[in-house]
């Protein structure tokens, strides 16, 4: 056993790290496995201040996102993607080996991984058969949970959680922070709960520029909450969380011109999502739920040979079969028209050869 293995914290010995799209798959020429935007844009960069540390929180960026989200700047914390926001919440509010978080699988894997990394317990209340919240189960098990993570629209399923159910959790889980992850909210903006911040002091909303804003490589996300929650999160935030270049790019993306571009991209993504769904309807693939995101989740007879065939064609999609209740499912990110044509043709070819 190496020195590092001897010295690592005991609970890390059995921890399996999150298998991100880039970490678990490589190669290929068509990347439809990470729910990224297929569109990329140029930004103007000022490098004159790169010799200086960036601000702890950029007033310009936080105000720009506050204006976009319809909140006040003191309700915004900007950080390295919503992944960091998840970690900050656990670091700030969960005592290791004492406190727990509650998750509702199938859901985004980093809630549990971040909790386990920091020594917090994970309480699991699976979604119902219709991929909605099990309110009775959450109510029964939430008393000891410091944080309740709800992903809406859902990753990996793609549907939105019923707003009445989210509000019910906020009303009965008054000793927990209810964290609503809205990473995909631009694809169904009317489903946002951001307007509830004034009503619910226990609400936290997570947002990101990685999806609809086409800035996955910039690593910029936001925690939106009431000022007392933001103040606690700032205690555990790194002193220089966002690089100056990220702040510049994100601020430009949140300009009126940038937001119009996002809205146009969202429209053509939804159009392409509908096209993929229509083209695949005749194939032996069952859509798991109506998607309100930039991806589609399908159940198939056997996911592994399909995954291998797609990879041989240079097309990377995501196998979600390890998720609770999602055996033999594949997730297809919506690309641009050319990429979507390639994945549609490859799937038709696969099923034509294997029927």
* CATH number assigned to the domain comprising residue 184: 3.40.640.10
Q: What is the pLDDT of residues 253-312, one digit of tens each?
A: 999 999 999 999 999 999 999 999 999 999 999 999 999 999 999 999 999 999 999 999
Average of per-residue pLDDT values in the chain? 95
In this structure, what token pair is assigned to residue 9? 């914290």
- Which residue, 255, 286, 314, sits at the end of a domain? 255
- Is residue 89 assigned to a domain? yes
Domain that residue 321 falls in: 3-38+258-349
- Is residue 44 assigned to a domain? no
Asked whether residue 135 falls in the same domain as residue 265, the answer is no
Q: Which residues have CB under 8 Å from 347's CB, separation 6+?
A: 280, 283, 285, 306, 310
Asked whether residue 158 falls in the same domain as residue 105, the answer is yes
Q: How many alpha carbons lie under 13 Å from residue 15 in its C-beta half-sphere?
A: 22
Long-range contacts of 266-269 (CB under 8 A, 24+ apart): 266/186, 266/187, 266/212, 269/37, 269/187, 269/212, 269/294, 269/334
Is pTM beyond 0.85? Reply is yes
Q: How many alpha carbons lie under 13 Å from residue 330 in its C-beta half-sphere?
A: 24
- Is residue 46 assigned to a domain? no
Asked whether residue 33 falls in the same domain as residue 178, the answer is no
Asked whether residue 121 falls in the same domain as residue 198, the answer is yes
- Is residue 53 assigned to a domain? no
In this structure, what token pair is assigned to residue 347? 């799937």
> 355: pLDDT confidence band, cut at 50, 70 and 90?
low
- Is residue 212 within 8 A of residue 187, CB to CB? The reply is yes
- Which residue, 213, 237, 255, sits at the end of a domain? 255
Q: What is the pLDDT of residues 74-105, one digit of tens each?
A: 999 999 999 999 999 999 999 999 999 999 99
- Is residue 88 within 8 A of residue 236, CB to CB? The reply is yes
What CA–CA distance (Å, rounded) separates 77 from 179? 14
- Is residue 355 assigned to a domain? no
pLDDT, position 23: 62
Asked whether residue 239 falls in the same domain as residue 264, the answer is no
Of 270, 338, 352, residue with least CA distance to 309: 352
Indicate the length of the chain as a whole number: 355
CATH at 299: 3.90.1150.10
What CA–CA distance (Å, rounded) separates 276 from 225? 36
> 19: pLDDT confidence band, cut at 50, 70 and 90?
low
- Is residue 45 assigned to a domain? no
Q: Express as a percent the part of the chain with pLDDT over 90.
A: 91
30-31/315-316 β-pairing: parallel
- Is residue 47 assigned to a domain? no
- Is residue 63 within 8 A of residue 354, CB to CB? The reply is no
Q: Express as a percent the part of the chain with pLDDT over 70.
A: 97
Asked whether residue 249 falls in the same domain as residue 264, the answer is no
Tell me if residue 123 falls in helix, strand or coil: strand
121-124/145-151 β-pairing: unpaired
Listing DSSP states for 51-107 in one string gives: TSPPPSS-HHHHHHHHHHHTS-GGGEEEESHHHHHHHHHHHHH--TTT-EEEE-SSS
> 5: pLDDT confidence band, cut at 50, 70 and 90?
confident
End-to-end CA distance of the chain: 50
Tell me if residue 122 falls in helix, strand or coil: strand
Asked whether residue 138 falls in the same domain as residue 197, the answer is yes
Q: Which residue has the tokens 């859509």?
A: 287
pLDDT, position 27: 74
Widest Cα–Cα separation across the chain: 61
Asked whether residue 243 falls in the same domain as residue 315, the answer is no
Asked whether residue 63 falls in the same domain as residue 147, the answer is yes
Of 313, 343, 311, 255, residue with least CA distance to 21: 311
- Is residue 73 assigned to a domain? yes
Q: How far, in Å, are 17, 108, 158, 262, 327 from residue 161 at the CA level?
A: 27, 14, 10, 23, 21
Asked whether residue 215 falls in the same domain as residue 345, the answer is no
pLDDT, position 239: 95
Residues paired with residue 179 on neighbouring β-strands, in sequence order? 149, 204
Q: Which letter does DSSP use for residue 194 in this model? A: G
- Using alpha carbons only, give the angle 315, 317, 285 rounded to the nearest 5 degrees: 105
pLDDT, position 24: 62
Of 165, 10, 181, 183, residue with least CA distance to 101: 181
Of 68, 302, 354, residue with least CA distance to 207: 68
In this structure, what token pair is assigned to residue 260? 């119009």
Asked whether residue 64 falls in the same domain as residue 7, the answer is no
Tally of domains in the chain: 2
Asked whether residue 241 falls in the same domain as residue 204, the answer is yes
- Which residue, 236, 255, 274, sits at the end of a domain? 255
In this structure, what token pair is assigned to residue 272? 């392409």
Range of weakest confidence among 10-24, 38-52, 287-301 = 10-24
Q: Which residue has the tokens 């700047």?
A: 73
């Amino acid at each position: 056993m190496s020195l590092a293995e001897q010295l690592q914290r005991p609970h890390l010995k059995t921890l399996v790290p999150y298998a991100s799209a880039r970490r678990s798959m490589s190669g290929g020429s068509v990347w439809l496995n990470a729910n990224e935007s297929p569109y990329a844009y140029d930004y103007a960069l000022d490098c004159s201040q790169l010799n200086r540390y960036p601000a702890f929180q950029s007033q310009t960026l936080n105000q720009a996102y506050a204006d976009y989200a319809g909140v006040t700047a003191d309700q915004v914390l900007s950080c390295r993607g919503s992944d960091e926001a998840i970690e900050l919440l656990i670091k700030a509010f969960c005592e290791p080996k004492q406190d727990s978080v509650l998750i509702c699988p199938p859901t985004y894997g980093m809630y549990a991984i971040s909790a386990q990394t920091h020594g917090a317990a994970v309480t699991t209340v699976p979604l119902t058969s219709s991929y909605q919240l099990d309110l009775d189960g959450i109510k029964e098990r939430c008393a000891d949970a410091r944080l309740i993570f709800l992903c809406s629209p859902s990753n990996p399923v793609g549907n939105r959680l019923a707003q009445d159910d989210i509000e019910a959790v906020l009303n009965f889980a008054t000793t927990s922070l209810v964290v609503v992850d809205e990473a995909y909210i631009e694809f169904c903006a009317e489903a946002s709960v951001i307007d509830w911040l004034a009503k619910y002091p226990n609400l936290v909303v997570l947002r990101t520029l990685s999806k609809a804003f086409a800035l996955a490589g910039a690593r910029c996300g936001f925690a939106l909450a009431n000022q007392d929650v933001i103040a606690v999160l700032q205690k555990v935030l790194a002193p220089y969380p966002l690089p100056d270049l990220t702040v510049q790019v994100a601020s430009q993306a949140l300009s009126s011109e940038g937001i119009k571009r996002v809205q146009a991209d969202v429209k053509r993504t939804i159009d392409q999502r509908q096209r993929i769904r229509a083209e695949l309807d005749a194939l032996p693939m069952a859509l798991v739920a109506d998607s309100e995101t930039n991806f589609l989740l399908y159940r198939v007879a056997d996911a592994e040979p399909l995954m291998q065939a797609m990879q041989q064609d240079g097309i990377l999609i995501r196998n979600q079969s390890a998720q609770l209740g999602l055996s033999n499912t594949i997730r297809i990110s919506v690309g641009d028209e050319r990429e979507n044509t390639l994945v549609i043709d490859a799937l038709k070819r696969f099923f034509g050869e294997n029927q």
